[in-house]
Structure 1
Amino acid sequence: MKNQLSFIVIISFLWLAACTTGSISPTPPPTQSEETIAPPLPGKPLAKSIHKRDQWSSLTGWNSDDLLPAWQAFLQSCRVLSKQPVWHENCKIAASLQHPSNTRIRKFFETYFIPYQVVNTDNTEQGLITGYYEPLLKGSRTFSERYRFPVYAAPDELLTIELGEAYPELKDLRLRGRLNGRKVVPYYSRSEIMNNPGLLNGYELLWVEDEVELFFLHVQGSGRIVFDNGEMMKIGFADQNGFPYNSIGKLLVQRGELPLEQASMQGIKQWGRQNPNKLAELLQQNARYVFFRELPSDLSGPIGALGVPLTAGRSIAIDPLSIPQGVPVFLATTWPNTSRPLNRLMVAQDVGGAIKGGVRADFFWGFGHEAGNQAGKMKQAGKMWILMPKEYQPVAFTQQ
């Protein structure tokens, strides 16, 4: 036991060092967009939120939502959830539902599930709802003066140390680094990779023409590349270098380069094109670097943390220490930059580098320009309810 506690203390030290110096960072398994998670202290629950049992009548818009798109996303989640005893029977019933309609789907959830409102640990009920999407970039399989910014595959020297296999307290946490002689040291930062192109020779998956768009491809975690001959390649998250995510939008505001109301994705892109001489230095302030893999062309959407394709307008990224992955979530928020209600059933199928805490979600808008427009503007307040099987016995996530 003493050795186990010592190991956890060491890992905690490494994590704290990572937050301040960019050392080896504990992270969850490869996902659509990664989340850095602090290791739990011995004997402490993982929960970052309070789940309060509630009534269906509290879910504003529940009776008017078109549930069919979310139903298809939920069935995708059941491919994973059904392996858990508490979900097995309900997923079996869902798969057998004939001719699903809004009435039948609503009755299914109200019969077999209980809504729990997600509450922050300070007892507040609202949180931030942002958006993300699948961008389209122009690219090439070969380097040229036009296509000169590389999209890298995960390098073989990138080490991943699984912690949960030996220490259950550290389940879903991983360390990333590389060997330097007999020592495991931090993997290269974004700055090191950008300033030393030869570090990753041979791992170029393709090249793109726009450095700002490439940076936001890293932020989104997946995308599509169109080549000059019209061919399209889908790429998705493969791995990352283990450094914590740092918002360059927040940094531009702090430096007085952008007012807060313009620090959206669109505003940052415009700033980058107007300030090409300052761009590289700014991008390097986010040390996290993402590696990609080619995806099958017939996928309906990018693959999220749960391992299933995301559904536009119905999948969200959450903090897995606050909300279990794969579960249905009823979201009550507003459309980007408006007060118009956006109340709908979603499914927690992804995690994100900046998605931390209780009432916090990233709304997946889908593919293309309009999806990007909505995602870039979305910074709304919202409330969330998770829908859990009646047999569910809350442990780590729920406090009553």
Structure 2
Amino acid sequence: MLAWLLRARPRLTALTALSLGGLILGTLSGCSSPPAQTPTAPAAPASAASSPATSPAPEPARVTLLRERSRWVAADWAELPGWGDAALRPAWSALLRGCERPAQGWAQLCQQARALEAQDPPDEATLRFWLIKQLQPYRVEDFQGQSSGLLTGYYEPELPAQRRAQGNFRVPLLSPDPQLRRLTRQQIDTQSPERLARAALAWLEDPLDALVVQIQGSGRLQLTEPDGSTRWVRVAFAGHNDQPYQSIGRWLIQQGELQASEASWPGIKDWVRRNPKQQRELLWRNPRYVFFREEPLPDLKLGPRGAQGVPLTPGHSVAVDRLSVPYGTPLWLDSTEPLSSTPLRRLVMAQDTGSAIVGAVRADFFWGWGREAEAQAGRMKQSLRLWALWPRQDTP
């Protein structure tokens, strides 16, 4: 439940490039570069040495692709849980969007995918056959062979806003400002209203809502203009003040104000309602401040652009560590629904990142926008296994 409250954001920023090349001979430094290949074979059973006559024959060596923070071990399609039963069409749409900015090695396959779509929109059987023919699955794991990781969730908030500060709308969302970018959150919040108005894109009612938009990295505003007209706009990440992110949920737990099970977003809001005089102190515990740019939102069905530079698809786009999985990589995801044991197994696209999405088997699941997306994202903290689907070497 604490997943998106306790992690550092905003997304839509590049992760710090920490090179692990010195640890692994042959690992390439760029995530978009063709990975190094080494054959590996599973360790023989312990009984093999003592009774060779009865031990099974060793498995053939499996090709392994090395990335900076992960290794990919070649797998069979039969190893992907639920692969034969999954609906592929929604993820296919996300794949075609990803082809607007294809990963290295994907340009030709993207041309073929577009041609397949243009001839006649393919049915499920055709899509499955095409993917199996063109792609090789690889189990994603860390360098110690651990293939289990963490899946969290995120979403795009929807909020009412005013173009000018008036009534209860007194909390600004700011555009980048060279002078303000050198300040902490506390220093920015205590600037004069006139100074903030010069950089304000819009004004919200609740400081906690403004923090949510900053944590998620984008937001949808139902914006009321000075003439009384209303329209939808998007505010997208445009930078931050280079201060470290600190989780207010974790701080409340450390202070003994909330139990870990209580530090959900509703729980934090309830704590603020009971302790209104401490709201600013709580917010100032996180010195990072995020700035935005305004974008038109002509199509309410279109998601925000992720770090790959393409619109995210609810339920089929994920944020990843780009040093483990390059943007534009199809992934087979094996996890469970939030707060349940219902399997969550589907094809998704690596199209975004976040400053806390770090590690070999680590992903953040984009739920979309609205209250249901907020609820699902806020309670998602699931075990995860991943398979990367990469073009076969013999693909023409």
Answer whether TM exceeds 0.5 for this pair. Answer: yes
Moved more, 72-81 or 199-208: 199-208
Counterpart of 2:211 in structure 1 is: 215
Aligned counterparts, 1:288-367, within 5 A: 288-299=288-299, 300-367=302-369
Distance 2:192 2:348 in 1: 41
Letter of the structure 2 residue corresponding to residue 280 of structure 1:
R
2:161 and 2:221 in contact (8 A); partners too: yes
Distance 1:320 1:63 in 2: 28
Counterpart of 1:397 in structure 2 is: none
Distance 1:314 1:283 in 2: 32
Distance 1:264 1:381 in 2: 19
Instruction: Give, in angstroms, the shift of residue 41 of structure 1.
Output: 6.8
Structure 2 gap segments, 5+ residues each: 1-8, 30-67
Instruction: Give, in angstroms, the shift of residue 216 of structure 1.
Output: 0.6
2:10 and 2:355 in contact (8 A); partners too: no
Moved more, 30-39 or 318-327: 30-39
Distance 1:38 1:307 in 2: 19
Q: 1:88 to 1:248 in 2, by over 3 A?
A: same
Counterpart of 2:187 in structure 1 is: 192
Structure 1 gap segments, 5+ residues each: 1-29, 159-177, 179-186, 393-400
1:67 and 1:102 in contact (8 A); partners too: yes
Select 2:122's aligned residue among 86, 93, 100: 100
Letter of the structure 1 residue corresponding to residue 329 of structure 2:
V
Aligned counterparts, 1:175-254, within 5 A: 187-197=182-192, 200-228=196-224, 229-254=229-254
Letter of the structure 1 residue corresponding to residue 85 of structure 2:
S
Moved more, 195-204 or 88-97: 195-204
C-alpha distance after superposition, 1:244-273 (max 9, x if no partner) = 332222222222122112222332233233
Regions of 4+ moved over 4 Å: 41-46, 197-201
C-alpha distance after superposition, 1:156-196 (max 9, x if no partner) = 458xxxxxxxxxxxxxxxxxxx7xxxxxxxx3222322233
Letter of the structure 1 residue corresponding to residue 136 of structure 2:
I
Counterpart of 1:69 in structure 2 is: 90
Counterpart of 2:175 in structure 1 is: 153
Counterpart of 1:49 in structure 2 is: 70
Q: 1:130 to 1:42 in 2, by over 3 A?
A: closer
1:266 and 1:376 in contact (8 A); partners too: no
Instruction: Give, in angstroms, the shift of residue 145 of structure 1.
Output: 3.7
Counterpart of 1:181 in structure 2 is: none
C-alpha distance after superposition, 1:342-363 (max 9, x if no partner) = 1111111111122111111111
Select 1:388's aligned residue among 387, 390, 393: 390
Distance 2:207 2:143 in 1: 39
Aligned counterparts, 1:106-121, within 5 A: 106-121=128-143
Distance 1:31 1:101 in 2: 37
Q: 1:141 to 1:128 in 2, by over 3 A?
A: same
Letter of the structure 2 residue corresponding to residue 332 of structure 1:
D
Distance 1:95 1:242 in 2: 40
Please give the TM-score of this superposition, normalised by the length of structure 2: 0.79
Select 1:91's aligned residue among 110, 117, 122: 110
Distance 1:262 1:120 in 2: 32
1:35 and 1:319 in contact (8 A); partners too: no
1:212 and 1:272 in contact (8 A); partners too: no
Instruction: Give, in angstroms, the shift of residue 31 of structure 1.
Output: 8.0
Letter of the structure 2 residue corresponding to residue 34 of structure 1:
T
- Name the larger-Rg structure: 2
Distance 1:194 1:125 in 2: 44
Instruction: Give, in angstroms, the shift of residue 121 of structure 1.
Output: 3.5
Letter of the structure 2 residue corresponding to residue 88 of structure 1:
A
Letter of the structure 2 residue corresponding to residue 126 of structure 1:
S
Alignment of 1:274 with 2:269, yes or no, is no
Distance 1:53 1:36 in 2: 27
Distance 1:118 1:103 in 2: 26
Query: How many pairs were matched up?
Result: 335
Letter of the structure 2 residue corresponding to residue 87 of structure 1:
W
Distance 2:185 2:393 in 1: 46
Classify the secondary structure of the residue corresponding to 2:202.
strand
The percentage of aligned residue pairs carrying the same residue is 41
2:139 and 2:388 in contact (8 A); partners too: yes
Instruction: Give, in angstroms, the shift of residue 155 of structure 1.
Output: 1.8
Distance 2:93 2:283 in 1: 38
Please give the TM-score of this superposition, normalised by the length of structure 1: 0.78
Moved more, 103-112 or 266-275: 266-275
Letter of the structure 1 residue corresponding to residue 363 of structure 2:
A
Counterpart of 1:138 in structure 2 is: 160
Instruction: Give, in angstroms, the shift of residue 122 of structure 1.
Output: 3.7
Alignment of 1:34 with 2:13, yes or no, is yes
Instruction: Give, in angstroms, the shift of residue 276 of structure 1.
Output: 2.1
